[in-house]
Amino acid sequence: MHQTNSKLRFRTKSVLTGWSFVLLAVILIFVFYFYPMLQALILSFQTGTGSNLTFTGFDNYSRLLSDKTFIVSVKNTFIYLLVQVPLMIILALFISVLLNDSKLRFKGFFRTAIFLPCVTSLVAYSVVFKYLFSGNGLVNTMLLKLHLVSAPIEWITDPFWAKITIIIAITWRWTGYNMIFYLSALQNIDHSIYEAAKIDGASSTRQFFGITVPLLKPIILFTSITSTIGTLQLFDEVMNITKGGPGNATQTISQYIYNLSFKYAADFGYAATVSYSIVIMIALLSVIQFKVAGDKNG
């Protein structure tokens, strides 16, 4: 009796010690992630300015569907997503395969150079890009001098080119980041697989699609999900390069939420509804990406 009691006390004590190690982190994540998440959900059913909010049911959600600015922001965000994420992933994969070549020289230099953009703050590089791509900026000057264009391109002020500028900027910043993940995964692939393929006469293109891509699938899935989540929340670049303009041509959903809450008449309820649209999109797209990757595995 006495012995089981002390055993029990020892077990309880060890369980308590275990929980005490993780407690602070658990509390902080619940207070600063899950609780606000719930608050945002409640807010999304309320309308009013500032803190004068009243429950109005699904009013905000029906407003969402007829809100032209919201629809434009969603469209813009999806253009970035559909063009930039595949472009960046393919580019990163391609570079990492080249860098993984055992005979390649200056490997360290290339890797460091291509990874370098990741050390800049989104704001700092955005400002640099804004000036590089301005009407009389360096990019236009160079293009004119090389006679590649006859008139300067309106990188920032034309709705089409402004989107291209944003896409170029994000690709510059994040390609190296994704490349590192692929490089590390490539280093774990057994070289003899490639040797065998070579003996069988497989071209390097076939080796790439037949060996590299399938083996890297989990990492490609990981990077495409993180890039999707990142792109759906795009804010810093657009805010600092184009301010969302011209008109609303480059505005993203995050920027619209910011404007609704802190620039216009502080419509927190509706802004929360818009923010939930991102939550829903992330959930849906992640499920789709898991499904697509899963199907090809099976």
Partner 1 sequence: MAKSKRFFMYLFLSIAAFVSIFPFLWMVVSSTNQSVDVTRGRLLPGTHLMENLRKLLDTTDLQVSLMNSAKISITTTLLALLIASLAGYGFEVFRSRSKDIVFNILLLSMMIPFAALMIPLYRMFGQISNVFPWMGIDTMTSVILPTVTTAFLIFFFRQSTKMFPKELLEAGRMDGLSELGIFLRIYLPTMKTTYAAGAIITFMSSWNNYLWPLIVLQTPQTKTMPLLISTLGSGYAPDYGMIMIAIVIGTIPTALVFFVMQKHFVAGMIGSVK
Looking at 63, 78, 79, 110, which residue binds partner 1 (CB under 8 A)? 110
Least distance CB 57 / partner 1 (angstroms): 19
Among 142, 149, 196, 292, binds partner 1 (CB under 8 A): 142
Q: How far is the CB of 1 from partner 1 (least distance, A)?
A: 26
Query: Of 107 and 193, which CB lies nearer to partner 1 in the complex structure?
Result: 107
Contact 169, 89 (CB under 8 A): no
Q: Distance of CA 104 to CAs 92, 94, 109, 277, Å?
A: 17, 14, 11, 46
Which residues 10-39 are close enough to bind partner 1 by CB under 8 A? Answer: 14-15, 17-22, 24-26, 28-29, 32-37, 39
DSSP letter for each residue of 230-270: HHHT--HHHHHHTTT-STTTT--HHHHHHIIIIISS--HHH
Asked whether the beta carbons of 257 and 275 are under 8 A apart, the reply is yes
Q: Which of residues 215-254 bind partner 1 (CB under 8 A)?
A: 219, 222, 229, 232-233, 235-236, 239-240, 243, 253-254
Rule CB under 8 A: which of 252-271 touch partner 1? 253-254, 257-258, 261-262, 268, 271
Which own/partner pairs from 261-268 qualify as long-range (CB within 8 Å, at least 24 positions apart)?
265/49, 266/49, 266/50, 267/47, 267/48, 267/49, 268/43, 268/46, 268/48, 268/50, 268/51, 268/53
Identity at 22, one-letter amino acid code: V
Helix H or strand E segment including 55: strand 54-55
Beta-carbon count within 10 A of 121 CB: 10
Minimum separation from the CB atom of position 128 to partner 1 (A): 5
Size of the residue set binding partner 1 (CB under 8 A): 88
113-132: which residues touch partner 1 (CB under 8 A)? Answer: 113-132
Q: Write the DSSP symbol of residue 54.
A: E
CB of 262 to partner 1, least distance (A): 6
- Min CB(238)–partner 1 separation in Å: 11
CA distances 63 to 45, 57, 98, 293, Å, are 11, 11, 50, 35
Which of 5, 54, 102, 136 is close enough to bind partner 1 by CB under 8 A?
136
Tokens of 181: 């993940």
3-state secondary structure of 105: coil
Residues 43-62 that bind partner 1 (CB under 8 A): 43, 51
167 binds partner 1 (CB under 8 A): no
Nearer to partner 1, 82 or 104 (CB): 104
**Only segment of 58-66, 156-164, 195-203, 279-287 that touches partner 1 (CB under 8 A):** 279-287
Work out whether 78 is an interface residue with partner 1 (CB under 8 A). no
Nearer to partner 1, 143 or 211 (CB): 143
Alpha-carbon torsion 95, 98, 102, 104, what sign?
Answer: negative
Residue 104 interacts with partner 1 (CB under 8 A): yes or no: yes
